[in-house]
Amino acid sequence: MKGYFRSIQINEDKPQYFIDGIVEYYVSLKKNKMEILSNRSFENKSIKQLSSSYKFLVAGVPDFNHYFIYKNLSKGYRFDDSKPESILIINKQNDTNKGIITKTNDGFEIQLSIYSNDNPKIMRFFGMESILKNYNINAIYSANKVSSCNLNNLIYFKEIRTYTIKKKKNDDYTKIDAIHEFFLLEKEYVNEISTKNLSNFYTFITPSNYNDNYWQEVENKIFQPLPKSLELYIKEKLTEIK
């Protein structure tokens, strides 16, 4: 699966990192792999990391979430299809509404909240505490029935994460937002991976590496350019790492 990706990490409502590019995913039953073909990488050097020994940095190419495949979603949640135009996604454990499946002109759209304020994920590492307070995914498929929603007909996905992190017990928390998007450009079936230049998911790679203005030629009907205000902020406040 070849497509355009973009990812931005925001520190206390100020964009800190931005990366976009062209990526090839190699999807198999065992493990997903990917190679970044082109990229632009930007950093807001006026914003400092909380720790000199550890960078909290998740801007990069996202992996496919387990629940992007309908059969996996149906194992973890139950569905309420009492409404004709949509299906509610219900948490089996506490019977709360966690998302919705809607019919589109060309297929289906799945929206799901995996972590939220009432069920955050707490992580501790390298003396840091990180709380994943919100993790929402949104995926659009060119499928003719909802049970067929899987990576074979995925045309777009987006994930939004909100963390609060701190270095020491008595420190104030810092809010970090991360947004990742993928727009499918083309796909083909292969028997083996032809490249050895594989990249890591959620990794901010440097320097920039591109030969054309690929971000101006994204042929995906879901694609919308970044808001003008964000484009201007990146241009004025962030530095491209060349």
Task: Check residue 48 and give its pLDDT.
Answer: 86
pLDDT of residue 185: 98
Q: Averaged in consecutive runs of 10 residues, what is the pLDDT profile of the chain (242 residues)?
A: 98 97 90 94 92 83 92 91 90 92 94 93 86 96 94 96 85 93 95 86 96 96 96 97 96
Question: Is-contact 183 1, C-beta < 8 A?
Answer: no
Q: State how far the Cα of 156 lies from the Cα of 144, in Å rounded to an integer.
A: 16
Helix, strand and coil content of the chain, in percent to the nearest 5, comes to 10, 45, 45
pLDDT at 190: 86
pLDDT of residue 29: 72
- Between CA 204 and CA 19 the distance in angstroms is 7
Residue type at 2 in one-letter notation? K
Residue 151 near residue 68, CB atoms below 8 Å: yes
Rounded Cα distance between 54 and 201, Å, is 18
pLDDT at 170: 67
Alpha-carbon gap, residue 221 to 104, rounded angstroms: 13
Pair 109, 140: CB distance under 8 Å: yes
